Amino acid sequence: MATIEIEGSVFEVDGDGFLSDPSIWNEEVARLFALYDDIPEMNEKHWAIVKIIRRNFDEKGNAPMIRMICQETGIKLREIYELFPLGPARGACRVAGLPKPDGCV
């Protein structure tokens, strides 16, 4: 099992750096994982995106469609890619503590 250390906290992760146990996720984990991806501070928009992804995961066990993220937060599609430079999957879903989505991401 791989681990990453961010600001003194150690997390068990998969090979791609996604949290091994999504149930230990909390807002502090999100903040640290974002920091690891060069997002020094999570703003309101980052939190809105992460919380919707997290809610969908808790309810349905997977990441929501990008359409749902945009329509529920009111954030423009192009802005999401700016907020999370690694994209909704490797960026936002990782910060939200989800397992890595399948497919070409």
| Residues in 21-40 at the binding interface with another protein, rule: CB under 8 A | 37-38
Site string for another protein, 71-100 (x = CB under 8 A): x-----xx------xxxxxx---------x
| Nearest distance, CB of residue 66 and another protein, angstroms | 5
SS (H, E, C) 1-57: CEEEEECCEEEEECCCCCECCHHHCCHHHHHHHHHHCCCCCCCHHHHHHHHHHHHHH
Catalytic residues, which ones?
Answer: 104
Candidates 3-11, 23-31, 43-51, 60-68; binding stretch for another protein (CB under 8 A): 60-68
**Cβ-based neighbours of 35, under 8 Å, separated by 6 or more:** 6, 7
Instruction: Tell whether residue 4 is a contact of another protein (CB under 8 A).
Output: no
